[in-house]
Structure 1
């Protein structure tokens, strides 16, 4: 849920910059893209800087939890960059949506195993709500990548 709030904050900042006529902010989809990219970059760097926070989420049967956390952090940073490059935007959005589905087991593990994070609420309600927020994050990702819904201008007329 904090990640979703980071996306919203980044989008708000991009909107302010758009009002100030910063040209790269573009339309709403572009501002939302910057918000998601900023949240991903922040989360990716956090994975690299504080890996111990995330290794607790890795199921015990998976080998090399530190390497998994490192790779996921790098994937988040790469996904953020990929969203900002027009040529790679669609691919990045699809791969990030797959990534967000792939990390669902870690979020479920938090709930089942009672894993709690410093600075976040300790109640189960927060972790269930966090799990629910994966759905709008995936939808947001597909939207800013131009995957869903398809823009009218990109549809081919068969008249």
Structure 2
């Protein structure tokens, strides 16, 4: 019984590990390609900056730098969690641009209205994916225990 339980948990952990790696790959590609787009298509990206924000070109270029830094950061275990927090904050920070696009859909005729509408809830899913895939999953000792100290719970 215990052997089957251990085997099942090991399979679950491997499967979870695969999904987590796929999530990390998605986050990396999303922000790496998006970051490059900020430089390759700056004028196009500037069109979605709401008019009440100053310096649209600067906004696009700075957010592109942060997207690239975050994408690279999620690849390295030492910086992954901090990069994830940064990408979550960046995703929230650019939400006004997505809302502006949705509100001004006639200015973006190449993008179907349904896609602009779907983009907003997908942003929530993106936040969840970033948070889940970049969180620190290393095992930590229980609160109050000291390094090397065994758990008080014993096998009977």
Which TM class, normalised by the smaller chain length? 0.7 to 0.9
Q: Is the 8 A contact 2:27 2:71 kept in 1?
A: yes
2:23 is aligned, of 29, 32, 51, to 32
Residues in 2 aligned to 1:129 and 1:155: alpha-carbon distance in whole angstroms: 38
Runs of 4+ in 1 over 4 A off after TM superposition: none
Let me know the Cα RMSD of the aligned residues: 1.8
**How far is 1:155 from its partner?**
4.0
Alignment length, in residue pairs?
127
Does residue 114 of structure 2 align to residue 129 of structure 1? no
**Structure of larger gyration radius:** 2
TM-superposition CA deviations, 1:90-134 (whole Å, max 9, x none): 00001111111111111111111224264x32x2x2211111100
Gaps of 5+ in 1: 1-25
Q: Secondary structure at the match of 1:39?
A: helix
When normalised by structure 2's length, the TM-score is 0.74
Does residue 103 of structure 2 align to residue 112 of structure 1? yes
Q: Is the 8 A contact 2:23 2:130 kept in 1?
A: no
Partner of 1:154: 139
Gaps of 5+ in 2: 1-16, 144-151
Partner of 2:53: 62
**How far is 1:67 from its partner?**
0.9
When normalised by structure 1's length, the TM-score is 0.73
Q: Is the 8 A contact 1:55 1:66 kept in 2?
A: yes
